[in-house]
Chain A
Amino acid sequence: MNESNIPPRKIKVGIPRALYFYRYGPLWVYLLRQFQCDVVISAPTSAKIVEDGAKQAISELCVPMKLYFGHVQALLDEYPDLDYVFIPRYVSIHKNQYYCPKFLTLPETIKYGMKLSVPILTLEVNAKKHYGIEGAIEMGKTLGFSLEDSGKAWMVALKKYNQLKSKMNSSNYIDILASLDKNPNHVIKKRKFREVIPKKIRGKFPLSILILGHPYNVYESYINMHLIERLKTLDCHILTIEDTHSDQFKKPVKINKIYEQYWQSEDEILKTARYYLNEGKKEIDGVIFLISFACGPDSLIEELVMRDMKTRKIPFLTLILDEHSGESGMVTRIESLVDMIRRKKYDSISSS
């Protein structure tokens, strides 16, 4: 028997399917695969994960954070032979900006909050301190890779991620993220919803709705109760931040004359809102802002966006998500919003 025929056991790294997995997930997966790791992703959110998370986390955290605790727990339960849990630390990707404080200490919050026994593999993205590639090199060091290899891995992963990002939009986002997970048990089942609009008039009175919010709220279909699919059965065309052209994200946002905003995670929301308030006003009929309960940055940004929408007379609905919200309450609110917008839009056209 020749021992060299047996391939060496790959390092097994688990990624929790929560928070910024919904934005940078592909990048992490590509990077870890470049490092020859065996990447596993936690199961899609289920009732058990929510319950576990709510138990582990302190009660005042926002829902996405609680879900993160739940997903880490699910990873540990499903893969007991895990070598590392991958928990990134996102501090900033621009010199003058920060992510939400909860992201800044995410590895420590999980490590000390859960008394985690598995070591944490972390990727620090901190433009205040160093370039992204240096974070990847640090990560490569823990996995036992040389400087050149880690640098190359980062470049390849980033290139692949950027290619993928340009292809992603609101309709295929969930599917592309799901395709990263090779585990057959983790297939997200498509739910069928009753068609509310009668067949005769289906497609005759279309609306386009802009959904604002963090990707981990908009594309997390368990916690937002399949908002996108539900709106589609109501004959609505969906626009999200991912559908906005990348040119819109270049100019910085100013809150007022002297003041620039400093939250990275809110930047794209504000920029998208700015585009649809000015040039893109004709493209949308209404706006839904998804925020999670006790979200710090959103509580203020929502106020700003809401007040601007009010002055421009764009219909605006805030949906607050938490682990206790019921389905029917939300359905009623969406349906009434859509009905109201539709009545207003097509009444004025038919009467004129």
Chain B
Amino acid sequence: MTKIISFPSMGWSRIAFRALFEKLPGVTVFPPPPVTRDIVKMGAKISPEFVCFPFKVTLGEFVNMIENHDIHTFVMSIDCGPCRLGFYAPIQEKILKDLGYDVEIIPIQQDDLLNFKWTKTLLQLSNVTNPIMKYYDVIRCTRLALVKMSYIADITRLEGLIRCREIHKGDTTRVVKNLMDQLDNEWDLQVLHHFDKVIQTAFAKIRIKHDIEPLRVIVTGENHIVMEPFINMDIVRKFGEEGVEVHLANSLYGWILHKLHINAERKKLEKLSKPYIPLDIGGEAIWVVGHYIEGQNQGFDGFIHLYPFTCMPENTARGILEGQSPDPFYLPIQFYSIDEHTGYEGMRTRLESFIDLMNSNRQGNPKFQNKYREPSEIKAIYDKKVPLTNHSPLFSEVLTPFTNNLNILISELFNMKATKQNTKGDRNT
């Protein structure tokens, strides 16, 4: 008998979560429906009063799936860090059981992926009896999930960079949706390893304005809020339509790499923010401050900090960022504290006035340095002389799936070394 399981969606990340469980024998995955107003309302109604917003959204999703789709088993990540995330699963289960639902929430441990506690969940779900074959499935599922995750990160990054340049409004949104659907339904690992070319050809079809210098803004904050477009009122799209280049700082792939201790970028940011936040306090606080300092050094135009109302770590980061402005922190910043009462119109007004502010900051602020450089991704996609072809030589069909994974690891390791050397050089000068 197969078990039907589901999980909270967290924007496009649902594709990666689905990939993690889909090919596990004994498990049927029900892909979670996108978040809507009703789901949020449902969750807010039965949640504790001032718990953080992701709790309410995920609980609403569970209730929706129980009532409308008859799913009774969910997988939910738990943590043992200082923030509230670790308590989500047990308390949500308690609330749902008190409401009379027959429900089981299976936790998946994510506090340190290198201790491999998370494999326990997968092994427990699989119905294979042979202990060695069990691990085979776990490895395959993990590979699928990791590969898809990395492509989701690529697509969302390109989306933010390209939308502000598109000539026909709506092209990017359509392409992104098509690509995500394609990625969701692709299960062949060998095809998946060439998927970056599919992404590039799809984006290359969008006609864009070249040689413009749009405003650049970093969007970051709490992971769930940043990644779930319904919750953050699709702030990335709104900025893009206003002609602002968005650098989305959060991705599930980056988070997983960080949990595997090989995310060089996050390590660099931790170093930058060390004087302000000396230790990881949960949430994204330490990297938010790091992104802010880095953005200021790189001459960005603005910074958006999204976080759930009453979030403890993000509030700490906000206090520090707010207390230190305008000196030494002069990069324009806007905070969005989001909960179930946040409305689109209020956000739009603030956002548009922020764009005006960034424009005047470019001209009026003596500290602002124009260091605009066109992102390398744009050049890689649009300035290609050789047309992209989907070649599939026999040799690589066997080897690439293995070497590609290795390559990712090796490049990450080199990155780490490079950043280490860089920081050493800085210290010497």
A262 at the interface (CB under 8 A from B): yes
Interface membership of chain B positions 79-122, coded 1 if the CB is closer than 8 angstroms to chain A and 0 otherwise: 01111101101110111001000000001000000000000000
* A265 to B316 CA separation, bound complex (whole angstroms): 18
Q: Cβ of A58 and Cβ of B90 under 8 Å apart?
A: no
**Stretch from A95-103, A136-144, A146-154, A181-189 at the B interface:** A95-103
Dominant secondary structure of chain A at its interface with chain B: mixed
B78 at the interface (CB under 8 A from A): yes
Number of contacting residues on A, CB 8 A?
Answer: 37
Q: Cβ of B278 and Cβ of A108 under 8 Å apart?
A: yes
**Stretch from A111-119, A171-179, A279-287 at the B interface:** A111-119
Which residues on the B side are within 8 Å of A115 (C-beta)? 323-324
Closest A residue to B80 using CB positions: A262
Please judge, given known A-B contacts A91-B279, A105-B281, whether A113 and B84 are in contact too, CB under 8 Å. Answer: no
Which residues on the B side are within 8 Å of A164 (C-beta)? none
* A60 to B320 CA separation, bound complex (whole angstroms): 13
* A325 to B121 CA separation, bound complex (whole angstroms): 46
Which residues on the A side are within 8 Å of B78 (C-beta)? 259
B282 at the interface (CB under 8 A from A): yes
B277 at the interface (CB under 8 A from A): yes
Please judge, given known A-B contacts A296-B84, A299-B49, whether A104 and B315 are in contact too, CB under 8 Å. Answer: no
Q: Cβ of A112 and Cβ of B320 under 8 Å apart?
A: yes
B48 at the interface (CB under 8 A from A): yes
Q: Cβ of A101 and Cβ of B312 under 8 Å apart?
A: yes
Q: Cβ of B278 and Cβ of A303 under 8 Å apart?
A: no
Which residues on the A side are within 8 Å of B125 (C-beta)? none
Q: Cβ of A258 and Cβ of B107 under 8 Å apart?
A: yes
Count of chain A to chain B residue pairs whose CB atoms are closer than 8 Å in the complex: 109
Min distance, Cβ B125 to any Cβ of chain A, angstroms: 15
Q: Cβ of B94 and Cβ of A304 under 8 Å apart?
A: yes
Q: Cβ of B312 and Cβ of A100 under 8 Å apart?
A: yes
* A115 to B84 CA separation, bound complex (whole angstroms): 29
Please judge, given known A-B contacts A113-B322, A261-B87, whether A299 and B315 are in contact too, CB under 8 Å. Answer: no
Chain B interface size band reads 35 or more
Count chain B CB atoms within 10 A of each CB in A96, A98, A112, A302 and give the residue with the most. A112
Which residues on the A side are within 8 Å of B277 (C-beta)? 105, 108
Which residues on the A side are within 8 Å of B82 (C-beta)? 98-101, 104, 262-263
A256 at the interface (CB under 8 A from B): yes
Please judge, given known A-B contacts A57-B319, A101-B82, A101-B83, whether A108 and B312 are in contact too, CB under 8 Å. Answer: no
* A115 to B90 CA separation, bound complex (whole angstroms): 40
Q: Cβ of B90 and Cβ of A101 under 8 Å apart?
A: no
* A332 to B354 CA separation, bound complex (whole angstroms): 46
From A98, A256, A261, A296, contact of B81 by CB (8 A): A98
Closest A residue to B324 using CB positions: A112
Which residues on the B side are within 8 Å of A109 (C-beta)? 316, 319-320
Min distance, Cβ B322 to any Cβ of chain A, angstroms: 6
Min distance, Cβ A5 to any Cβ of chain B, angstroms: 44
> 22 A–B contact pairs at CB < 8 A?
A60-B318, A100-B312, A101-B82, A101-B281, A101-B282, A101-B316, A102-B316, A104-B279, A108-B320, A109-B319, A112-B319, A112-B320, A113-B322, A115-B323, A259-B78, A262-B82, A297-B84, A299-B310, A300-B87, A302-B48, A303-B51, A303-B91
Chain A contacts to B: CB under 8 angstroms: 57-58, 60-61, 91, 96, 98-102, 104-105, 108-109, 112-115, 255-256, 258-259, 261-263, 293-297, 299-300, 302-304, 307
The 8 closest A-B pairs by CB, nearest first: A98-B82, A113-B323, A296-B312, A101-B281, A101-B312, A303-B48, A294-B310, A255-B90
